[in-house]
Amino acid sequence: MELKTRLEIFEMGNIPDDTKANINGSSPPGRHAVAPRMFCDICDAHETKDCPQQASDSSPLSRHHGERGATRPYCDTCEVFGHETGDCQEDETF
């Protein structure tokens, strides 16, 4: 129902029982409620709760043992750490 229609029904005060059910979210007579999605959002092959990818353990946290706050050389040309932009061997830019 539209919001204005719902407001008018509430303003009337005398609401029939079947209208109360429609206002509270159940589907109107003759219309069926939409069934929830039963396929996995990740694989789209089975139910989400049965997904083997979702149930897998997350990978362990990496331990780089680097110093916090240390600056690392970064190349803007090839977008990798390890060398400065001026020292880049890539000739092609994107």
- Note the pTM of the prediction, 2 decimals: 0.30
CA dist 92 → 5, 30, 85 (Å): 63, 64, 13
The answer as to whether 41 is a domain residue is yes
The answer as to whether 81 is a domain residue is no
Model confidence at 85: pLDDT above 70: yes
The answer as to whether 46 is a domain residue is yes
The answer as to whether 2 is a domain residue is yes
Supply the range of the domain harboring residue 10: 1-53
Q: How many domains does the chain have?
A: 1
Note the pLDDT tens digit of each residue in 26-77. Answer: 555 566 666 666 777 777 777 777 777 766 666 677 777 778 888 889 999 8
The answer as to whether 58 is a domain residue is no
Helix (H, G, I), strand (E, B) or coil at 67: coil
The answer as to whether 75 is a domain residue is no
Q: Hunting for tokens 């069926």 — which residue is that? A: 32
Q: Hunting for tokens 């092609």 — which residue is that? A: 92
